[in-house]
Amino acid sequence: MLDIFLLRKDLASAIARLETRKNPQAFLDVQAFQALESERKTLQTRTEELQAQRNQLSKHIGMLMGKGDKEGAEAAKAQVAASKVELEQSAQRLEQIQTELQTMLMAVPNLPHESVPVGPDESGNVEVRRWGTPATFAFEVKDHVDVGTPLGLDFDMGVKLSGSRFTVMKGGIARLHRALSAFMLDVQTQEHGYAECYVPYAVNADSLKGTGQLPKFEGDLFAAKKGGQDGEPVPDHAALYLIPTSEVPLTNFVRDVVLAESELPIKLTAHTPCFRSEAGSYGRDTRGMIRQHQFDKVEMVQIVHPDHSYEALEAMTGHAEAILQKLGLPYRVMSLCTGDMGFGAAKTYDLEVWLPGQNNYREISSVSNCEAFQSRRLQARFKNAQGKNELVHTLNGSGLAVGRTLVAVLENYQNADGSVTVPEVLRPYMGGLEVLVP
């Protein structure tokens, strides 16, 4: 959530930055915001006047009583009573205004950092660097569907059990998928200093509000219905949602917490399934595993001092790159433009891996600095050197998306006979197996 004091101080500048994002007209009703702010200022000024007047009258009543002027004291008391009624009405309206402003701000995305390239959509993204050279093949390259199906990828069974955009893995391909997640966790914990966590796969609405998925993106979530006692329905406030990413539970570790500055940075990782309804993506990437309702991810989350969040963003991007480099998968790093960034991000790098079957680079990791956008919702703070509570900065990124990494391994390590060479770093997780054979 944006800092309301920033909007009050320089609304025009904030709006100018928001307008560089996609669909800016859907973010903030400027006229409604200004009307509420104007009313708030008027009420606060009037409230201060009434409080000063009441204090003055209270002193005056004491003086009149001391002089024996009961009639004058009663008249003053009547004025105090009248101001009390008006004060109570003002307080109620101020509370309503604050609620309306809060609701309004919950729908407004983060402001892009000044270093973010301005652009309308993915066409405005800027390539930062590349690593590796795409391999050349002496045979006709297949995509991961044609490579993986004989090895145990079963899309028909996924449809039978759950519907479209669900996949079943069996045999060697399932083992390779498990090997990838274990390898990623080992690298992030043993080489990059993240603490491994196990988290719930279903979370409450407060957790999703804290990281920005609710209320704006409820359509992208899967709600988990719970049965009530004796057939009674479960109230809305008790509803749970399947996690779209373990960023949600991990970042909420610090919700309503005041940390010591010495506790920063906090570095967390978890391997979980992720559940996304992919609202608005129908017709896109319908073939294979690129866009699924359920997929696995090893997530990285950092909670850091505000002075160090952009240093942390670069480091986290490197932590994701390390996985691809160890696997020998060519990729490029893209700085996302203002029109392509996620709702809560101030700056984002995407890692795009080379897929020979598509003859293209495709996203495999997204690493974002949210600055104080999430922590303001979460009320996640630390005690700074001056002894004051200050909002932390939060960052998150994929380290990596396991299913898309599997896709990249299948396509980049495929052989002419339909087998797939197991990358060397994964062989210890595969019992020394070097090749997956149909």
Binding residues: 245-247, 276-278, 299, 363-366, 396, 398
Radius of gyration of the chain (CA): 28
Q: At what angle do helices 30-67 and 70-106 cross, to 10 degrees?
A: 160
Q: Pinpoint the alpha helices (H) of 107-246.
A: 144-148, 155-161, 172-190, 205-211
Of 347, 414, 416, nearest to 176 by C-alpha is 414
The answer to whether residues 149 and 414 touch, using CB atoms and an 8 Å cutoff, is: no
Taking the C-alpha atoms of residue 195 and residue 173, their distance in angstroms, rounded to an integer, is 28
Taking the C-alpha atoms of residue 386 and residue 407, their distance in angstroms, rounded to an integer, is 50
Residues with a known catalytic role: 276, 291, 363, 366, 404
- CB contact burial 368-382 (16+ within 10 A = b; e otherwise): bbbbbbbbbbbebbb
Of 238, 209, 225, 223, nearest to 276 by C-alpha is 223
Binding residues for ATP: 276-278, 363-366
Binding residues for L-serine: 245-247, 276, 299, 396, 398
The answer to whether residues 374 and 210 touch, using CB atoms and an 8 Å cutoff, is: yes
DSSP 180: H
CA dihedral sign, ordered 42, 43, 48, 52: positive
